Chain A
Amino acid sequence: MSVSTPFSTRSTGGVQPRLTWPLIVLSLVGLILLPSIWPSSYVVNVLILAFIFAILATGLNLIFGYTGLLSFGQVGFFGLGAYLYALLTMDGGVSPWLSILLAGIGSGFVALLLGYPALRVSRASFVIVTLSFTLLTALLARNWVEITRGPMGIPKLSAPSIDLPGLGTFSGHDPHVFYYIALAIAAASIGAIYLLVNSPIGRVLRAINLDEPLAASQGISPKKYQIAAFAVAGVLSGIAGSLHVSHLGIVDPSIFDPYYSEMLLIIVIVGGPGSFWMVVVSSLVFMAIPELLRMAPELRMVLFGMVLVLAAMLFPTGVGGYFEQRKLAMWRRSLRS
């Protein structure tokens, strides 16, 4: 009963085939070339939204999939980042690029402040506190008129632009330019989280998620890691929110629409919480599906519902979870023989 095992210190759990890096590079190159192959601004706009959701979903995956805390606060931070961006650029006169960064940091800071009391009691209380936070931010956006302009929102937001010496300035209001801005920011922030979850820190987060008392007995302070993960997820949501409204050109309380929470949860749960790339791919897929279904406008939502039901039946633990189960089954077989 000898089993040859590569002594891997890399994180286990999700699918981590050796192909990961070539595939990442290939998809990035594909996404860079796509607008020149298929210059439709409709496609470009759908992809921009997909990139924004990929950032948001990666943040939720970090806090929910890896750390095991179901957060309904991500859309709250998304909206917070959006409003921070609008206020910084319109009222503060800060440049769009810096505003995106500050919106991320600001949201992360609020997450830090919120995470501390939210995690004091239990995981269930965390869910309730984060949900209340999102409802509260929506309420503030609607009613704190002096700052947020209320339901009318803040229109005519500027978008970041790219200055290339010798070639001139490319305005982010052009979807084809914004596509690359969104792609770059998504690649950078998702890449950073990829490094994080595959580092020893990611392994500790998984450990806390799997067995908190065991982790504590080994000298790991669960709260410290949970709060830090929540703050990082907050940064990602804030960045996604600011990016989204700089593209839309307006922020109003509809940024807290349940559509965002729902879509976000669908993306992460169907992709497989704790499976890094599955969730990123799932963001692209779930932004594309409703668009593809426009072919049958009357049946669109019905068909989308069917896709969800099928996904839930075929992959009850998400697509990533399905691969993990298969890996487990493989191990069991190899141990039996």
Chain B
Amino acid sequence: MTSILTTHGLCKNYRGIKAVQDADLSVARGGITGLIGPNGSGKSTTIDCVTGFTRPSSGKVNYDGQDITGSPSYGLAGIGLVRTFQNVRVYERLSVMDNLVVASQSLRAHGWLPLMLRSTAVKADEKTIVQEAISFLELVGMAHYAGAPAGILSYGQRKLVALAACLITHPKLIVLDEPLAGVNPTIIRKISGLIETLNEQGLTFLIVEHNVDFIMRHCDHVIVMEQGKKLTEGKPEDVRRDERVLEAYLGKRVGLETKGTAYA
């Protein structure tokens, strides 16, 4: 399987703190890759480096055959790489519909004068985008909120809208930063189902998540990070049994089986 995204020797230092060290990651095209690790293990910094929100100190990021190391975040949506944020972000004072329309990129290709005067081409484009937005909102089950300001939605509903806003950019790879955190079980099922469906349609996902159940069930590859380094990677069931992974999350196993050294 080819990779859509790879990093080579990715490092990020914050004034001496090595948030990410020498990470070589790869995300398989068409797959769902999970990125897990305890708090502070460098997952978020890694995806910030990959999505242009922070500049790596060293190392390379390669996406879809091009070197995107250090390219600004706003340059990536155009080539099909989008992300969501840990604490979900939506434009609270825009309507749900406008949240999607503004994310769509085709309108921005017009010049300012046709946009201001709403030329027929702009109007036609806008109509297509609205249709598209409705279909994506229907997909995530938020169509009846289209006219409502996004600020009135619950946390989980916002995550659904944020996902729909990702989809309208026509991405190839979506990076999801904790899509299930703080969301009720109904919406967890909804989001998991959506990720599965979209993946079947050919979308690639890189997902940072703490929900082990989700990772085990949906990811076909899991990367584990600890203290800024890649600890291990592999199939979810292998990673789950890996002694080092348990150690990273729960600490060293202590007790009688360590032959009496625990209390020494």
- A residues at B contact (CB < 8 Å): 2-3, 5-9, 11-13, 192, 195-196, 199-201, 203-204, 206-207, 210-211, 213-222, 228, 324, 327-328, 331-332, 335
Contacts and interface: CB of A to CB of B under 8 A. Distances in A.
11 contacts: A3-B144, A7-B134, A7-B147, A200-B102, A207-B102, A211-B89, A213-B53, A213-B85, A217-B85, A218-B105, A218-B165
Interface string B90-101: 111111011001
A3 B75 CA distance: 37
Given A12-B98, A216-B73, A335 B148 contact: yes
Scoring B53, B82, B108 by chain A CB atoms within 10 A of each residue's CB, the highest score goes to B108
Contacts of A7: 97, 130, 134, 146-147
A184 to B, nearest CB: 20
A63 B27 CA distance: 41
| Interface pairs A-B: 5 shortest CB-CB | A219-B77, A5-B147, A214-B89, A216-B73, A12-B95
Contacts of A13: 93-94, 149
B112 A8 contact: no
Given A5-B147, A13-B94, A201 B112 contact: yes
Contacts of B147: 3, 5-8
A206 B90 CA distance: 12
A62 to B, nearest CB: 13
Given A5-B145, A217-B73, A220-B108, A324 B93 contact: yes
Interface in B72-128: 72-78, 82-83, 85, 89-95, 97-98, 101-103, 105, 107-108, 110, 112, 115-118, 122, 126
A203 B148 contact: no
Interface string B40-81: 000000000001110000000000000000001111111000
Scoring A2, A8, A228, A324 by chain B CB atoms within 10 A of each residue's CB, the highest score goes to A8
Nearest to A7: B146
Given A6-B147, A9-B98, A201-B112, A221 B72 contact: yes
Contacts of A327: 149
Contacts of A213: 53, 73, 85, 89
Given A218-B74, A324-B93, A331-B152, 6 more contacts: A2-B144, A12-B93, A207-B91, A216-B73, A219-B77, A219-B78
Chain B interface: which size bin? 35 or more
B202 interface: no
B93 A218 contact: no
Contact of A206 (B82, B94, B107): B94
B151 interface: yes
A214 B85 contact: yes
A196 B82 contact: no
A222 B74 contact: yes
Interface of B: 51-53, 72-78, 82-83, 85, 89-95, 97-98, 101-103, 105, 107-108, 110, 112, 115-118, 122, 126, 129-130, 134, 144-149, 151-152, 165, 169
B98 A203 contact: yes
Contacts of A11: 94, 98
Contacts of A210: 91-94
Scoring A200, A207, A222 by chain B CB atoms within 10 A of each residue's CB, the highest score goes to A200
A107 to B, nearest CB: 19
A13 B148 CA distance: 10
Contacts of A218: 74, 77, 82, 102-103, 105, 165, 169
A201 B52 CA distance: 24
B102 A204 contact: yes
Nearest to B96: A5
Contact of B91 (A196, A211, A222): A211
Contacts of B107: 200
Contacts of B151: 328
Contact of B152 (A195, A200, A332): A332
Contacts of B72: 216, 221
Contact of A200 (B91, B95, B122): B122
A79 B10 CA distance: 51
Contact of A214 (B91, B112, B116): B91
A199 B93 contact: no
A220 B99 CA distance: 13
Contacts of A6: 147
A219 B169 contact: yes
A228 B73 CA distance: 20
Scoring B76, B85, B103 by chain A CB atoms within 10 A of each residue's CB, the highest score goes to B103
